[in-house]
Amino acid sequence: MTVDGLQYVVAMAGTVAFAATAVAAVAPKRIDLFGALVMGIITAIGGGTVRDLILGVPVFWSEDLNYIWVALAASLLAFIANKQMTGRQVYRAMLYLDAAGVALFAIQAAQKTMDLSFALPLGPILLGVITAIGGGLLRDVLAGNDTLLMRKELYAVPVTLGCITYVTLLAIFPTAGLTVAAFSMLLILCLRAAAIHWHLYVPDTLLTRPVDSKQSKK
């Protein structure tokens, strides 16, 4: 299998994970089948769609509808297997698969942005993060949940560090694009997997403090 072929397989696996975990995340809302399909698709393709609109290029899934079909199928299966999907072991397994998808999509987006020389050097970092977490943000907004950016969970931080690493190393080693991309993806995957396994969160010292109700009344 070629490198492009392997990336495509991982991308499809990531699409499955995004869609399935989206349905599992909104399952407590008791949504119907249509709602589950919409949430799954939005989560799977939302970030990449926003990225391509910002870049002013054809939206990626318009040129390969397999992303839509795979997201639909994964959402449907997750809806049917609702009880199993929300089980602890199965859900954790999907989170690891989601981490692989996040790593791949983030670095692919950064690479695509750099190829277009869009808003260098910050553009690839910003659009890499948007691609990786954009779908999840849209899902949480529509579901009325706290968004990924409002939680202490280490989700966006590993993606941001990975994209910064990719842009920095590529500037230093411009001819080692494949190696730099692989290393950056592995960095995101390892950081995200560690956060899942050891339940790592942003330390309290880096969080804002709630306003004291008594002081606010003074």
Give residue-wise pLDDT tens across range 105-154: 999 999 999 999 999 999 999 999 999 999 999 999 998 888 888 888 88
Instruction: Check residue 148 and report its DSSP letter.
Output: G
pLDDT, averaged across the chain: 90
Give residue-wise pLDDT tens across range 49-76: 999 999 999 999 999 999 999 999 999 9
Q: Would you state the pLDDT for residue 44?
A: 96
In the predicted structure, residue 46 carries a pLDDT above the cut 70:
yes
> Left (φ > 0), alpha (ψ -120 to 50) or beta: where does 97 sit?
alpha
- As a whole number, mean pLDDT of residues 187-203 equals 93
Q: Would you state the pLDDT for residue 7?
A: 82
- As a whole number, mean pLDDT of residues 13-22 equals 90
Specify the higher pLDDT residue, 23 or 169: 169
Specify the higher pLDDT residue, 5 or 68: 68
Q: Would you state the pLDDT for residue 90?
A: 79
Q: Would you state the pLDDT for residue 217?
A: 55
Q: Would you state the pLDDT for residue 146?
A: 84
- As a whole number, mean pLDDT of residues 12-31 equals 88
Contacts of 123 (CB under 8 A, 6+ apart): 113, 114
For 217, other C-beta atoms within 10 Å of its C-beta total 6
